Structure 1
Amino acid sequence: MTNIHGQELVIENLAAGYGKVQVLWDVSVRVAPGEFVAMIGANGAGKTTTLRAVSGVVKPSAGRITLGGQDITRASPSQIVALGLGHVPEGRELFPHMSVLENLELGAAMREEARHARAQTLEQVYGLFPRLQERAGQLAGTLSGGEQQMVAVGRALMGCPSVLVVDEPSLGLSPLMTQTVFGALKAVNAEGVSVLLVEQNVGLSLRLANRAYVLENGQVVKTGSGQELLADPAVREAYLAL
């Protein structure tokens, strides 16, 4: 997006959960400035909880998270957004009775820089997803699943993020729509935005990623380049059915 310089996201020895149920143990992940990093693992491995901790929705019980060198471990979601984080949540979480344009504009509301650049950023989002411009006045709840995913990604981009965390963007999408959404993520990353992706389509995410982490039972059990993990026999057997 406009004049974006990706920041570094560092997760160190993270522990987190819900109430008395611990989900993450000693998770450490690094996304270098401008890097595309994938996080893979079975359902229940702790991937979504990791992203929620990064965006301030879940408060860690131990560990540290920094964004661009600033400690955000105990920061509120609004403070974290203001520092440059964008979050595309699992399930999209749109406002169904608001228009596509209204949903997108909400993405720029929490950050002064984004508010000032709103018109230009909206043009860029429409460039990535021309269909959203065609549907700008349509209620978000009446869109197809793929179109709603475009709105969710576009809304996060309206905040002019330097780091984008994305949770299961291909869930429920057709192969063609999946390629469209992933193409947009790759384009955004090529412009400098750091990306941390959680995705069920392991083959596609590893092919796009500079580096990747494998989570099992709330712990990082393996890391390497995307290509290294694609060639790893254990990863291929567990996640690629090869």
Structure 2
Amino acid sequence: MTQGQALTIEHLAAGYGKVQVLWDVSVRVEPGEFVAMIGANGAGKTTTLRAVSGVVKPTAGSIRLGGVDITRAEPSQVVKRGLGHVPEGRELFPLMTVLENLELGAAMRPEALAAQRQTLAQVYSLFPRLQERAGQLAGTLSGGEQQMVAVGRALMGRPSVLVVDEPSLGLSPLMTQTVFEALKAVNAEGVSVLLVEQNVGLSLKLAHRAYVLENGQVIKEGSGQDLLNDPAVREAYLAL
């Protein structure tokens, strides 16, 4: 493994209790890369991201973030090391305002707290609607607006690597496009992105590289364009 890699997952195994979900997952994200993980429901994509963020503890393998071993680290330590996680289902605090939810994203990192005002302005530039809704309770927002808050909250921690789980879930095509354009812009600013997403076509169009997971293992890897043109991928995930 080279020190230059933003995120490296090697031979990862993990699960929940006696139920093993991941058997042998190896994924790398280079600095500035946009990497997608695709696969059917139950393939292990969400579990992989949860293991990266420390929510699920691996039973084998290793995870390194910016060259530092975080395999057994607690979620708070992983955040301090520079990981931002946009979880499936958003997991906002519904009785807190949009601004309060966003500010929580900076709470774990001193450097993020020091730059909180600047980062908030950047989040608002990505999602102007959040500035309009800053004093509104997060639980009263539309699904798309809540997804904007979830992405914005992760960005408030000024991460070097952003892992994003199913951002288009339940969103309209227009709102999906808005969220994906924001992720593309964040990546263009130098933040490495690891995306899990059921919208395979859109994901592969944006991704520099991509992985296909099946039954807790990586079965295919290539550039986003190569996998988009792969007959097996098109038949299995694009119904083409």
Provide TM-score, normalisation by structure 2. Answer: 0.98
| Structure 2 unmatched runs, 5+ | none
- What is the match of residue 159 of structure 1? 157
Are 1:36 and 1:189, in contact at CA under 8 Å, matched by a contact in 2? yes
Counterpart amino acid of 1:61?
Answer: T
Contact 2:5 2:28 in 1 (8 A): no
Q: How many residues align?
A: 237
Superposition pairs for residues 214-225 of structure 1, below 5 Å? 214-225=212-223
Q: Indicate if the aligned counterparts of 1:7 and 1:194 stay in contact, CA closer than 8 A.
A: no
RMSD: 0.8
1:32 is matched with 30
Q: How does 1:6-155 map to 2 (within 5 A)?
A: 8-155=6-153
- Secondary structure, counterpart of 1:96 in structure 2: coil
Is contact 1:106–1:155 with CA below 8 Å preserved after alignment?
yes
Q: Which residue of 1 aligns with 2:170?
A: 172
Deviations 1:111-137 (A, max 9, x none): 001000000000000000000000000
- Counterpart residue identity of residue 75, structure 1: A
**Residue number in structure 1 paired with 2:202:** 204
The one-letter code of the counterpart of 2:120 is: L
- Please, what TM-score do these two structures have when normalized by structure 1? 0.97
Task: Indicate the percent of aligned positions where both proteins have the same amino acid.
Answer: 88
State the distance in 2 between where 1:8 and 1:77 align. 17
Separation in structure 1 between the aligned mates of residue 160 and residue 219 of structure 2, nearest angstrom = 27
State the 4+ residue runs in structure 1 displaced beyond 6 angstroms: none
Report the alpha carbon displacement of residue 7 of structure 1 after superposing the two structures with TM.
Answer: 6.0
Look up the SS of the partner of 1:28 in the other structure.
Answer: strand
Task: Render the CA deviation track for 1:45-81: whole Å, top value 9, x for unaligned.
Answer: 0000000000000000000000000000000000000
Q: Is this contact kept in 2: 1:8–1:194, CA < 8 A?
A: yes
State whether residues 23 and 49 of structure 1, in contact with CA within 8 Å, keep that contact through their aligned partners in structure 2.
yes
Give the direction of change, closer, same or farther, for the CA distance of 1:203–1:95 in structure 2 (3 Å limit). same
Partners of 2:213 and 2:88 in 1: CA distance: 17
Distance 2:149 2:43 in 1: 27
Residues 187-216 of structure 1, C-alpha deviations (whole Å, 9 max, x = no match): 000000000000000000000000000000
Per the alignment, in what secondary structure is the counterpart of residue 10 of structure 2? strand
Query: What is the distance in 2 between the residues matched to 1:186 and 1:160?
Result: 16
SS at match of 1:125: helix
